[in-house]
Amino acid sequence: MNEEDNNKKNDAAPEKAPEKAPDKAAESTVLRRGLAIVAGKLIIGVAGLLTGVRAIWSGTTPKAEQTLYFANHTSHGDFVLLWATLPPDLRALTRPVAGQDYWEASKLRNFIGKDVFNALMIRRDGSGQGGNPVDQMKEALEGGDSLIMFPEGTRNTGDDILLPLKSGLFHLARACPNVRLVPVWIENLKRVLPKGTLVPIPLACTVRFGTPIVLAEGEDKVSFLARARQAMLDLRPEYDRVEQNGNNAGAAS
């Protein structure tokens, strides 16, 4: 074979495609997702260890249906505990509504909020990129997400058992009539993680899920919110009601 034949053979051989460089962005995404899964399991384990948390479903059962869980709010750990008590299939469908100012204050909180919980970050004053918080929640519900929200609008750090409910719950009930509205009462977490403390106090906690409520045809905002608030209060354990009634009697005398 002469040199000319060799040249023809080399010309006919297909050129090797250049090797693709590793997709660092994709690798980083996979790694981040893996860390989020591990962190989620760790958080569930720690929550169970510190609080012995258990879920009580009274008047409803866990269903893989789109749901808006509305709960009392006394601690930054509220949605963590509620989310942790959901069965895994419901947990995967459910996004906590979280205060952007708190959960984006550090890289660790941001990772936990966005990557572990897939939280819907909102600013209560409406100054965030998403604008009005109710519109953000409505958009998430219309997109098929289930949500955990706190209709008091802020953490209850005072002596009131439950603050008045903001109008957002009413507007969401009216805008998304096919979404289940499940009242929730989180018991004892305020005592586990008192305001200003960093180290939790081990106490048994319970998350009680109540009978779903429905916005009645023609029902106004005031009556609906009063009914929703009462549905939450009705989930309190008996000892809590007795204690509250005793406090009220003492204040009245």
Q: pLDDT by residue (tens digit) across 205-214?
A: 889 999 999 9
The more confidently predicted of residues 223 and 194 is: 223
- The stretch 102-126 carries a mean pLDDT of 88
Strands of the sheet containing 67-71, edge to edge, are: 54-57, 206-209, 180-187, 67-71, 146-149, 94-99, 120-122
- Is the Cβ–Cβ distance between 158 and 47 less than 8 Å? no
Which pLDDT tens digit goes with each residue over 34-80? 999 999 999 889 888 877 888 999 988 999 899 999 999 887 778 88
Q: What is the pLDDT of residue 253?
A: 37
The kind and range of the H/E element at 192 are: helix 189-192
The percentage of the chain sitting over the pLDDT mark of 70, rounded to a whole number, equals: 76
Q: What is the pLDDT of residue 250?
A: 43
What are the tokens at 245?
Answer: 């009634």
Cα distance between residue 14 and residue 27, in whole Å: 31
Mean pLDDT lowest for which of 65-69, 98-102, 167-171?
A: 98-102
- The stretch 229-237 carries a mean pLDDT of 95
> Which one of 3.40.50.2300, 3.40.50.720, 1.10.357.10, 3.40.1130.10 gives the CATH number of domain 27-246?
3.40.1130.10
Phi, psi of 251 (to 5 degrees): -70, -35
Domains of the chain, by residue range, sit at 27-246
Sign for the CA dihedral angle at 77, 180, 167, 247 comes to negative
Measured between alpha carbons, how far apart are the two ends of the chain, in Å?
115
Q: What is the pLDDT of residue 159?
A: 80
- Is the Cβ–Cβ distance between 62 and 140 less than 8 Å? no
Q: Which of 2-6, 60-64, 239-243 has the highest mean pLDDT?
A: 60-64
pLDDT band, very low/low/confident/very high, at 158 (cuts 50, 70, 90): confident
Q: How far does CA 214 lie from the centroid of its chain?
A: 21
